Amino acid sequence: PKVHYVDHTGQDTEMDVPVGENVMHGAVYNGIEGIAGECGGALSCATCHCYVDDAWTAKVGGPSSEAEEELLENASSEVKPNSRLSCQIEMTDDLDGLVIHMPESQY
């Protein structure tokens, strides 16, 4: 399934991210700037913060755990209702075409 990574300037990069892989890895492995993922997905850094596109929020849902919700508060960019930690969004066939927006900086 494809993920569209949209940076803060509006540039959209489409990547194939395998089912079962998370959206943070999809960015980091493909060299997409905008997602850092410093802790490697261990839910301890908040540098994988992203905003789920309005068209996808219902499908993706909110934070997957209390731990994600708490850590999100440490994100350096403004936290919005559609904020997620991208390492906690796992790809499924249902999410083909997912659009996420990346903050200008993760620090």
Would you tell me which residues interact with ligand FES (CB under 6 A)? Answer: 24, 37-39, 41, 43-48, 71, 85, 87
Q: Output the smallest distance, CB 2 to ligand FES, in A.
A: 21
> 26 vs 37, which CB is nearer to ligand FES?
37
In 22-73, the DSSP E strands lie at: 49-52
Q: Output the smallest distance, CB 26 to ligand FES, in A.
A: 12
* Contact of 91 with 22, CB cutoff 8 Å: yes
The CB-nearest residue to ligand FES is 87
* Contact of 1 with 96, CB cutoff 8 Å: yes
106 backbone dihedrals φ, ψ, rounded to 5°: -100, 5
Helix (H/G/I), strand (E/B), else coil: 24: helix
Q: Output the smallest distance, CB 9 to ligand FES, in A.
A: 23
> 34 vs 37, which CB is nearer to ligand FES?
37
